[in-house]
Chain A
Amino acid sequence: MLVYKELQAGQRLEPLVKDPVSKVQLVKYAGASGDFNPLHTDDAFAQKIGMQGVIAHGMLVMGFLGEYAMKLAGDSAILTNFKMRFGAVTVPRDSITCSAIVNKLYEDDGQRFVSLDLFAEKGPEQVVGSGQVVLQFQ
């Protein structure tokens, strides 16, 4: 859990390493999210359109970053803005590591905020998504 006074710009935060993505997880995520694009659940379909097999929903990877951001925020801050740009694809058995660097600390209208740069990587230098989250301290 982050403490405003202990943070400084450029600081790297403790990463979160997720369990490898599984095909069952993609089926579960399709059901829970309502995104039934067969590209995420049907290998034959994915191969027909030129992929090796199914790929993970980009929003599942954003979900991992959301889990990470909420873990960092804990009970001391709430999310006000969260965005992500999708990069390389994630496939079953990829293990995603979520990491963050403190971008900026600022005050606005008497409230304290921190913006964090977020990264989701499937291996060293293999970014599958990058984003930013703004946390408002309570």
Chain B
Amino acid sequence: MELTKKIIGLSGPEFVFEVEKGHIRKFAEAIGDSNPLYVDEEYAINTVYGGIIAPPTFPIVIGQDSGDSIDLGLNQRRMLHGEQEFIYRRPIRAGDILYCQMKVTDVYEREGRTGQMQFLVLDTEMKDEAGKLVVISRTNIVYRPLKNSETGVKL
């Protein structure tokens, strides 16, 4: 199926993500990021954050968790993760319970080196229990022409 502007505004089901301290630690370790802010409660409490927070790219885990919650009928193998953006209202903290939902926020075309390129923008909004926005994870996907599209990404 080709991308159309008709899918702008479509959203997946809301899902809940609990931020566990151990998960934050494993994520920071995988990056090789030894910042004590992610693992050491005593250290973190005396910083501007006042406690353990998650690394800035941690929200990508939450996007992954949504799995196939938004089915746009698109070919996963044609999708290439072109850009990623995080818009933070506050840091994610250990113990946060986040209410998340993925939405299609844009579909557009642009002239590229190899001809017309199609792009898909997906926002995952993450809110706290009071409904206040915490983070928006914005994924920009290049929707490639059928031929050289063997690799694909999981959304």
**Closest Cβ of chain A: how far from B39's Cβ, in Å?**
13
Chain B window 16-53, contacts with chain A (Cβ cutoff 8 Å), 1 for yes, 0 for no: 00000001001101111101010000000001110000
Stretch in B2-10, B77-85, B115-123 with 4+ CB within 8 Å of A:
B77-85
Residues of chain B in range 51-66 having any CB-CB distance to chain A below 8 Å: 55-57, 60-61, 64-65
Q: Is A4 an interface residue (CB 8 A)?
A: no
Are the CB atoms of B55 and A63 closer together than 8 Å? yes
Give the distance to chain A from B139, nearest Cβ to Cβ, in Å.
Answer: 10
Looking at the complex, which one of A32, A50, A71, A83 makes contact with B84 (CB distance below 8 Å)?
A83
In the bound complex, do residue A28 and residue B29 qualify as a contact, i.e. CB atoms below 8 Å apart?
yes
Size range of the interface on B? 35 or more
Q: What is the 8 Å Cβ interface bit string for chain B, positions 79-98, against chain A (1 contact, 0 not)?
A: 00111111110010000000
Q: Using Cβ atoms and an 8 Å threshold, which residues of chain B touch A60?
A: 30-31
In the complex, the answer to whether B30 meets A50 with C-beta atoms within 8 Å is no
| Interface of chain B: mostly helix, strand, loop or mixed | mixed
**Number of chain A residues close to chain B: CB under 8 A:** 37
Q: How far is the CB of A89 from chain B (nearest CB, A)?
A: 10
- Contact pick for A86, options B33, B57, B82, B88, CB 8 Å: B82
Q: How far is the CA of A33 from the CA of B63 in the complex (A)?
A: 9
> Distance in Å from the Cβ of B66 to the closest Cβ of chain A?
10
Using CB atoms and an 8 Å cutoff, list the residues of chain A in contact with chain B. Answer: 18-19, 25, 28-29, 31-37, 39, 49-50, 58-60, 62-64, 66-67, 69-71, 75, 78-86, 138
